[in-house]
């Protein structure tokens, strides 16, 4: 890929104490995944820069945590409204650095604002517990207290929504945050911090450090003033985060990889199920932790469903994110594409049939980007890479299964446990799937939409802890017990 600079190339430093610093001598080069053009340079922060950001957040903690929940919620509400006002401004930058389509960028940014608004609304609903009559004349209370400085580390696939999942509950509960975006998608996060600060967030409450994981990320996790690490990313990196956070006994929430199964029964609405499978797999070029990555179809309807999914995949228009007609943008990097291509190749060496053309597109307009056409593989071995590893791109394996019992067994034959889906009109099957599939989320006859009202998190290799829902507040507060003995 070329990296020819354009007149609009950005130069941005870290965001600390309410302002963007000048870009440092040592920088990250950010290129457009769809064109290879240079987007700009951002500071590659070292431990010293991270220390400044964490100390700034720690300094701001006292005043911010003393404010009432309602006041913090009002400031977050203003920030959410400001973000909505700036969506159209932010779209081009997000498309340029991440690669996604204009439509997907707009959806992401609006969802990020919705999540902030959700937690702003919850601010007035936060309750503590009270226990009357522990002993004669003795009552008890349970208080919520903020943890302190939160490290929010997010990946490149959804830079703003995954950050908002952490910012919302962290800020409402009185914590301060140092965010570290992926080293390939820093610019939208830096601008988001500016927007929230301009909307009323006090300086230091949200700081952003840009840099690599081994350098900036590890310095942030291991900083003695960091009290909580909220991480979204791959399972191997999450395990590294856990190990680093052990020193100092920091709180950790991990939203890691997934290989979500979908079961399609013979009594399902097959047309809607096929649409949900295609949307759930190929949205954001298949680059999502929570995505349909394995499909199991009962044999009697398998041919019809497989044909429908393959037809939908083949119709997707691959293109550069700025193309209004594009439905499938590029993969984010050369490395991501090569990893997926290797998984497909190793799988096909052992078996399976490719129904769509797949591979790299031959359109010369896409030659400088990391594009890959949607790929559907039927009946690969159940112990192949596409069955057992997380496939992070536009490739979907589908299996024919003899009955619902086999579908459940194979759905659970994975180290991951993030999301899952079942399509059936049979209530008993639906209830069995909800109870027996080992995952943090199950959709029944529904596209894989995440709701802020419900807790979200995985099990097994998909991590632990919850984001979304009022349950997320528990992961950003300490509970303190207070016993009061009345006089007399």
pLDDT digits (tens, 9 = 90+) for 234-260: 999 999 999 999 999 999 999 999 999
pLDDT at 64 over 70: yes
Q: What is the dihedral of CA 185, 190, 196, 197, to 10 degrees?
A: 170
pLDDT at 357 over 80: no
Q: Which of 117, 373, 390, 467 is catalytic?
A: 467
Tens digits of residue pLDDT in 45-61: 999 999 999 999 999 99
Tens digits of residue pLDDT in 301-317: 999 999 999 999 999 99
Instruction: Find where tokens 């949200």 sit.
Output: 206
pLDDT at 459 over 50: yes
Q: Which of 166, 228, 312, 466 is catalytic?
A: 166
Q: How many CB atoms lie within 10 A of CB 8?
A: 12
pLDDT at 410: 98
Average pLDDT over residues 174-184: 98
pLDDT at 6 over 70: no
Tens digits of residue pLDDT in 187-227: 999 999 999 999 999 999 999 999 999 999 999 999 999 99
Q: Tokens for 394? A: 């536009």
Percent of the chain with pLDDT over 90: 96
Active site residue 467: yes
pLDDT at 360 over 60: yes
pLDDT at 428: 97
Q: Please, which pLDDT band fits residue 265 given cuts at 50, 70 and 90?
A: very high
Query: Are 53 and 226 contacting, i.e. CB atoms less than 8 angstroms apart?
Result: no
Active site residue 255: yes
Q: How many helices (H) and strands (E) does the chain have?
A: 14, 23
The C-alpha angle 377, 383, 386, rounded to 5 degrees, equals 35
pLDDT at 3: 37
Q: Please, which pLDDT band fits residue 7 given cuts at 50, 70 and 90?
A: very low
pTM of the predicted structure, to 2 decimals: 0.95
pLDDT at 374: 97
Average pLDDT over residues 324-346: 97
Q: Which of 289, 312, 373, 390 is catalytic?
A: 289
User: Could you give the residue ranges of the DSSP H alpha helices within 123-185?
Assistant: 161-172
pLDDT at 358: 84
Q: Could you tell me the maximum CA-CA distance found in the chain, to the nearest angstrom?
A: 87
Average pLDDT over residues 165-173: 98
pLDDT at 4 over 60: no
Tens digits of residue pLDDT in 376-428: 999 999 999 999 999 999 999 999 999 999 999 999 999 999 999 999 999 99
Query: Are 263 and 364 contacting, i.e. CB atoms less than 8 angstroms apart?
Result: no
* CA distances to 168, 174, 178, 445 from 55, in Å: 21, 16, 10, 48
Percent of the chain with pLDDT over 70: 98
Residues 6+ apart with CB under 8 A from 129: 141, 142
Query: Are 140 and 20 contacting, i.e. CB atoms less than 8 angstroms apart?
Result: no
Active site residue 173: no
pLDDT at 234: 96
Q: Which of 3-12, 20-29, 126-135, 247-256 has the lowest mean pLDDT?
A: 3-12
Query: Are 64 and 176 contacting, i.e. CB atoms less than 8 angstroms apart?
Result: yes
Q: Which of 104, 117, 255, 341 is catalytic?
A: 255
């Amino acid at each position: 890929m070329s990296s020819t600079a354009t007149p609009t190339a950005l130069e941005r430093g870290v965001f600390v104490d309410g302002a963007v610093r000048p870009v440092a001598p040592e920088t990250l080069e950010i290129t457009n995944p769809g064109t290879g053009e240079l987007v700009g340079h951002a500071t590659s922060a070292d431990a010293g820069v991270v220390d400044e950001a964490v100390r700034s957040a720690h300094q701001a903690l006292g005043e911010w945590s003393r404010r009432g929940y309602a006041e913090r919620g009002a400031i977050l509400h203003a920030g959410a409204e400001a973000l909505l006002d700036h969506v159209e401004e932010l779209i081009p930058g997000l498309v340029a650095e991440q690669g996604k389509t204009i439509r997907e960028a707009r959806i992401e940014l609006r969802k990020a604002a919705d999540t902030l608004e959700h937690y702003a609304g919850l601010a007035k609903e936060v309750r503590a517990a009270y226990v009357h009559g522990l002993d004669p004349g003795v009552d008890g209370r349970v208080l919520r207290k903020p943890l302190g400085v939160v490290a929010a580390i997010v990946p490149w696939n959804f830079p703003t929504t995954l950050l908002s999942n952490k910012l919302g509950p962290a800020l409402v509960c009185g914590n301060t945050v140092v965010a570290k975006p992926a080293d390939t998608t820093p610019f939208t996060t830096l601008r988001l911090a500016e927007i929230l600060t301009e909307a009323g967030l006090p300086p230091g409450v949200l700081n952003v450090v840009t840099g690599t994981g081994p350098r900036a990320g590890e310095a942030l996790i291991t900083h003695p003033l960091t009290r909580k690490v909220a991480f979204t990313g791959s399972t191997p990196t999450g395990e590294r985060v856990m190990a680093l956070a052990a020193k100092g006994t920091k709180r950790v929430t991990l939203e890691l990889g997934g290989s979500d199964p979908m079961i399609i029964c013979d009594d399902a609405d097959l047309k809607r199920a096929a649409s949900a499978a295609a949307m759930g797999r190929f949205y954001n070029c298949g680059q999502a932790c929570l995505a349909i990555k394995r499909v199991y179809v009962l044999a009697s309807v398998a041919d019809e469903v497989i044909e429908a999914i393959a037809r939908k995949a083949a119709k997707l228009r691959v293109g550069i994110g700025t193309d209004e007609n594009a439905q499938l943008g590029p993969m984010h990097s050369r490395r991501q594409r090569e990893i997926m291509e290797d998984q497909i190749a190793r799988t096909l060496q052992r078996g399976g049939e490719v129904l769509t053309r797949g591979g790299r597109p031959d359109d010369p307009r896409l030659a400088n980007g990391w594009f890959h056409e949607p790929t559907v593989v039927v009946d690969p071995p159940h112990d192949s890479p596409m069955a057992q590893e997380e496939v992070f791109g536009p490739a979907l394996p589908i299996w024919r299964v003899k009955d619902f019992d086999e579908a459940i067994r194979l759905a659970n034959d994975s180290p991951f446990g993030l999301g899952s889906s079942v399509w059936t009109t049979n209530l008993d099957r639906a209830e069995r799937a909800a109870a027996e599939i080992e995952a943090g989320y199950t959709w029944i006859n529904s596209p894989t939409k995440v709701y802020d009202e419900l807790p979200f998190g995985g099990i097994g290799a998909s991590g632990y802890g919850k984001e979304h829902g009022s349950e997320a507040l528990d992961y950003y507060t300490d509970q303190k017990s207070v016993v009061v003995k009345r006089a007399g």
